[in-house]
Structure 1
Amino acid sequence: MGVLNTNPVTKTSVDNGLSPEGKQQVARAVVELQRLEACSRSCWIWPSITQRAYQAAEIIASVNGIDRSRIVPEYSFLDARGLGALEGRSLDAIFEVYAFDKISPNNKPPPITDGTPNESVSDVFVRVTQLMSILETQYSEQTIVIISPDSDNLSILLAGLTGVDLRRHWDLSFKPGEVRMVDPVSIPTYKMPASAVYKCMNPPSCT
């Protein structure tokens, strides 16, 4: 419909299902997943419970011969980023949010009283970090296909994994239906920040 729709109340509505264009995007995603051999030795599919994401999961599972028991719906950690008062506006309004994101990962979209969350980059990062903790605990060494209803979940997660400044997550944004493989081997080793290495023994005079 060309508008921002992030209120979690509507995420299971049939109106939020895949459009004909969305189905074509999923078909291209299926081809890319097969090229990457993502599910050649089976995989788990972890979609948002959002209608369009779950429908995409069913298509991917069907084409790859994956049992529906391997589709694990995510009820909250993969919700679309809540955009507050921008809800219902044109998709171009998202650039207003990204302008604030570039200033600080803690900036939030303007609030609204209809129940739509207004989430900062940091808020989303907490959610996707919790998601990764669950996946790492329950599905270690398994291949997981994450299906998100928006790009921000994935770009913020990818920024966190690869050490990119969260304010620049937009540089890693995903196109609809885009597939990217994240190999744990490619993730750089975490470096402890200087604040955790150097301690001031005689504040406020530090040497």
Structure 2
Amino acid sequence: MLRTTTSTNATSMPPQVSSSSSSSSSSTTTLRNPHASFKPVNRRHLLTALTLSVSVASSTVHAAGARGLFQMPPVRLTNRYYLVRAGESEFETLGIINTNPVAKTSVDSGLSEIGKKQTVKAAFQLKALGACDRGCWIWPSITQRAYQAAEIIASVNGISRSYIVPEYSFLDARGLGAFEGKKLETISEVYASDGISPTIKPPPIDDGTPNESVADVFVRVTQLMSILETQYSEDTVIIVSPDSDNLTILQAGLVGLDLRRHRDLSFAPGEVRFVDTSSIPTYKQPASAVYKCLNPPNCN
């Protein structure tokens, strides 16, 4: 414990400042350490040292943050990526839109019987492609159907469950706001708005379902890629999404497609796609040959 050098009683007193130091450019406080001899502490030197420490710490954090920066479209990718949409869910079987994250771990958000078969097919397709021949990491949304799909993929490809890394928010199904609970056909209205501007949000609702624009999802998937490109190097990563929009918006960003046209890259339930940043799959080419966007999502 540090105590003042002078004390008239047993009560600890505030540090004493020498009156002679008041005329100098910096004041000196003398502290007593019970394990050392008297040693003056210069406040100016102390402040300088603290400032330097903060500066070094700040620059370190800045450098670390810079390492995780990820821009769309990327110059190159450090890892190999496969994009997988989970098979059909129970809600999709019923023809109902379900995007509220509150229910994402519910059994009702799991794979339907058809969805399980679609996912098994996807798992064997990945095996045929040799996706996990040299090992792989599987990154599914924590949403029930996506995580179930990840377990099926791991089983078919002989991958330990310890290589499944659940993603808790960046891969949530796109929140469709007031469309929650409506029939799946009504989602065409959302895509009509997407085609006008990537910043248009679905109407809001008060049940906790987010209403996300294409630009909102673009931020999420860019953050995900930033993490993956920072955390791994020369690895294979299988991204498993509960819906199509996460994947279409991600792939549009990677290949430089105008985000208003992300729907052109739609994924069917259980579809697998290897990420090739140099091109769009032939069978998904937009009707127009002009599709490049040099600064997504600002393609207006």
The residue number in structure 2 matching 1:108 is 201
1:82-123 deviation line (CA, Å, top 9, x unaligned): 000000001111100000000000000000011100000000
The residue number in structure 2 matching 1:175 is 268
Among 45, 49, 70, which residue is 2:142 paired with? 49
Provide runs of 4+ in structure 1 moved above 2 Å: 190-193
Map 1:1-150 onto structure 2 (within 5 A).
1-150=94-243
Please provide the CA RMSD for this pair: 1.6
Q: Give the CA deviation at 1:191.
A: 8.8
Using the size of structure 1 for normalisation, the TM-score is 0.89
Among 245, 261, 266, which residue is 1:152 paired with? 245
Q: Distance in 1 between matches of 2:154 and 2:175?
A: 28
Between 80-89 and 57-66, the greater mean CA deviation after superposition: 57-66
Q: 1:161·1:187 contact (CA, 8 Å) conserved in 2?
A: no
Pick the structure with more helix per residue.
1
Change in CA separation of 1:107 and 1:68 when aligned onto 2, cut-off 3 Å: same
Q: Give the CA deviation at 1:7.
A: 0.2
Q: Distance in 2 between matches of 1:135 and 1:84?
A: 29
Q: Distance in 2 between matches of 1:172 and 1:183?
A: 13
Structure 1 position 161 matched with structure 2 position 254: yes
Q: Give the CA deviation at 1:32.
A: 1.2
Q: Give the CA deviation at 1:183.
A: 3.6
Give the aligned residue type for 1:9.
Answer: V
Q: Distance in 1 between matches of 2:123 and 2:155?
A: 10
1:48-81 deviation line (CA, Å, top 9, x unaligned): 0000000010011011110111000000000000
Aligned residues: 191
Q: Give the CA deviation at 1:2.
A: 1.2
Q: 2:257·2:293 contact (CA, 8 Å) conserved in 1?
A: no
Q: 2:256·2:294 contact (CA, 8 Å) conserved in 1?
A: no
Give the aligned residue type for 2:158.
Answer: G
Q: 2:141·2:172 contact (CA, 8 Å) conserved in 1?
A: yes
Give the aligned residue type for 2:233.
Answer: S
Q: 2:258·2:293 contact (CA, 8 Å) conserved in 1?
A: no
Give the aligned residue type for 1:64.
Answer: N
Structure 1 unaligned blocks of 5 or more: 194-207
Larger radius of gyration: 2
Q: Distance in 2 between matches of 1:36 and 1:191?
A: 30
Give the aligned residue type for 2:258.
Answer: D
**3-state DSSP class of the match of 1:146?**
strand
Q: Distance in 1 between matches of 2:134 and 2:246?
A: 26
Q: Distance in 2 between matches of 1:26 and 1:192?
A: 34
Structure 2 unaligned blocks of 5 or more: 1-93, 281-291, 296-300
**3-state DSSP class of the match of 1:81?**
coil
**3-state DSSP class of the match of 1:155?**
helix
Q: 2:136·2:236 contact (CA, 8 Å) conserved in 1?
A: yes
The residue number in structure 2 matching 1:204 is none
